[in-house]
Structure 1
Amino acid sequence: MTTVTLFTRKGCHLCEKAKEIIFSLKKEFHFDYEECDIEERDEWIEEYGLMIPVVLIDGKEVQYGQIDKITLYKAFSKK
């Protein structure tokens, strides 16, 4: 099954919006969801600190910053 990973941090309003968009797509595309707070690991802070939210599908980065439904929809459609 496809896995969607959302890298986020506390107090991030763009992250909350990204999460809403991701879950709106769950009705059409079946996937597992995991959420990772970048504050939990130094390597995540280094890699994603200025980019959050960051969405990965099966470990591949598909979008960051302003997350939009169309881009995610296209990424899921390629699966």
Structure 2
Amino acid sequence: MADVAHPQGHSVTVMTRADCPACETAERDVERVCGELGVPFTVADVDTDPEWRAEYGDRVPVILVDDAEHDYWSVDETRLRAALGG
């Protein structure tokens, strides 16, 4: 997983899978929050890696902040903003 580090050291990854409506919503939410705060994010499909599928597969979408699990199933925008310093 190649996160792009923010100048302040933050990175956000949305662990997702194809044909997942909750994942699409989470991606839009993360894109909006990260866009407002100037924090880059990446999206990774859990089904492309057996370890990711085993770790996150039953809880997607999973939001990682600085490579640590932050949220799953949905995005808590207030909590995400706080974690990113916004």
Question: Quick check: TM above 0.5?
Answer: yes
Give the TM-score taking structure 1 as reference length.
Answer: 0.87
1:62 counterpart = 2:70: yes
Name structure 1 gaps, 5 residues minimum: none
Q: Percent identity?
A: 31
What secondary structure does 1:66 align onto?
A: coil
Name the count of aligned residue pairs: 78
State which drifts further: 57-66 or 42-51: 57-66
1:3 counterpart = 2:37: no
Name structure 2 gaps, 5 residues minimum: 1-5
Higher relative contact order, chain-length normalized (CA < 8 Å, sep 6+): 1
Moved over 3 A (4+): none
Decide whether the 8 Å contact of 1:21 with 1:68 is kept in 2.
no
Other-structure match for 1:35: 43
Which of 18, 21, 27 does residue 19 from structure 1 map onto? 27
Relative to total residues, which structure has the larger strand share, 1 or 2? Answer: 1
The 1-side partners of 2:67 and 2:38 are apart by: 16
Tell me how large the CA RMSD over aligned residues is. 1.5
Give the TM-score taking structure 2 as reference length.
Answer: 0.80
Letter paired with 1:12: C
The 1-side partners of 2:73 and 2:27 are apart by: 12
Decide whether the 8 Å contact of 2:30 with 2:75 is kept in 1.
no
